[in-house]
Amino acid sequence: MKRYIINGNVCLQSKVKKVDIEINNNVISNIGVNIEKVEGAEIIDAKGLTVIPGIIDFHTHLEEKGQLFNQIDTYSSGSKLAILNGITTINAFIVQNFNQSLAQAITSVAAQAENNTYCDYRWHLTPTRFSDINFSDISRWIDKGFKTFKFYTTYKTANLYLSYDRINEIIRRLKKYEPQIIIHCEDETIMNQMYIKHDFHDLSNYTKIHSEEAELTAIEKIIQLCKSIQTPIHIAHVSSSDAIGQIELAKRDCPITCETTPHYIFLNENRLQKDNKAHYFLTPPLRSEECRNYMEIKTSMGYPEILCSNHKAYSDDIYKSFVNDYRSMPSGMPSLGVLFPLFYDLLVKKHEWDLPKLMKKLSFNPANMAQIYPKKGTIAVGSDADLVIFDPNGKPRTVTSSLAKQYNAWSDFTTNVEIKEVLLRGTTVVKNGKLVNEDKRIGQALCDTNI
């Protein structure tokens, strides 16, 4: 049966307009002013509220197993928080371990998500084997919708590190498949030189090792690769304004883009000197207040193409065992529940962005880069009816960073953004800020995981 959303201020791709939305068979079938309604159809009255396309989190870590610690947010708990905060599609990660085939890595993670996810989902792949046979296998998975790949210029002990020459070779071999490449940029050589100079008892030393220089150097080298290869490369979780500046300059000569996350816009390294400091341990690390301020300025100028969460959550028990040796700590912070409300408050309310500009960073660009547009990422006829109805001036609340942790690292941030209703492929899954049915996990994979 058809459904209609009426009287809402609807965020279309270039403007906000009061129009009706017709939904039929999971997709948007019509958009217009006072469109004719089918008798007996369900009407959702969004008077006084705003309607946006479902948010697409381009960078989310869920249920991953690490060398020492496993993440505590499952596909169930992570996607629940996502959908409650207007995120209707998450992009998570599949990393091929040294003892796995790519098929084994994919089917293992797919089993974790299947029938356990409240929103739709897809994955970025990190292959770790690159023989001729492995490249043939990679191409097969590209045909199944795995079109984004993440590689690292660091993390040798985790078997993720690739030299710049190796990255160059891999991207050149993948280029014919028109992939989207994502790079974690920190220069291993610079960090190793700093590593031997510091003890491991002061978290501020970690920021000196994982320095702005290490990030910028790696980014500059990847920019040179991008100019040479001319294949789209996306720099993950940029933490410094100088790095964003170099990426912005390089866009004239090559298809390079970047993202940033709430951590580097709202937090600074002073958190590493306070109680619960281990909860603010991430890679790249939090920067100085001066750097944070410049990151806010660069973000307000529209430089990063994507705003995403880089969500990671670990058990409180892990942090309780912290004994002032940061080598024993997992890196990452939960932030799924932070992404939309804090960036809305900052960029729309404070910096006076129009709403379509924000949704370009949160929906359109992520969908385009993940190669799922126009199925996702926009309010348009033929697109999935992934829609969020919210009140920008609702009841004040504290943002929630994770449903699986006791300590909320964002507890001193509040928002008036109040999610009223979320539709996933035309079905209402959130109503008045709560799940309609806790037992109904209708999230679907946007990649084919069948062997």
- At 324 the pLDDT is 67
- At 407 the pLDDT is 86
Residue type, 414: T
Q: What is the pLDDT of residues 286-343, one digit of tens each?
A: 999 999 999 999 999 999 999 999 999 998 888 776 666 777 788 899 999 999 999 9
Q: What is the pLDDT of residues 120-159, one digit of tens each?
A: 999 999 999 998 889 999 999 999 999 999 999 999 888 8
- At 289 the pLDDT is 97
- At 349 the pLDDT is 98
Q: Where are the domains of the chain?
A: 54-369
Identify the bridge partners of residue 60 per DSSP, sorted by sequence position. Answer: 311
User: What confidence category does residue 240 fall into, taking pLDDT thresholds of 50, 70 and 90?
Assistant: very high
Residue 241 burial class via C-beta count within 10 angstroms: exposed 0-12, middle 13-18, buried 19 and up: buried
Tokens of 153: 């210029």
- Contact by Cβ (8 Å): 342, 262: yes
- At 354 the pLDDT is 98
Taking 80 as the threshold, does the pLDDT of residue 367 lie above it? yes
Taking 90 as the threshold, does the pLDDT of residue 1 lie above it? no
Q: For 54-369, which CATH superfamily applies?
A: Metal-dependent hydrolases (3.20.20.140)
Give every strand in the sheet of 180-184, ordered side by side.
55-57, 87-95, 120-126, 148-152, 180-184, 233-235, 256-260, 306-307
Please tell me the total number of residues recorded for the chain in this structure: 451
Residue type, 245: G
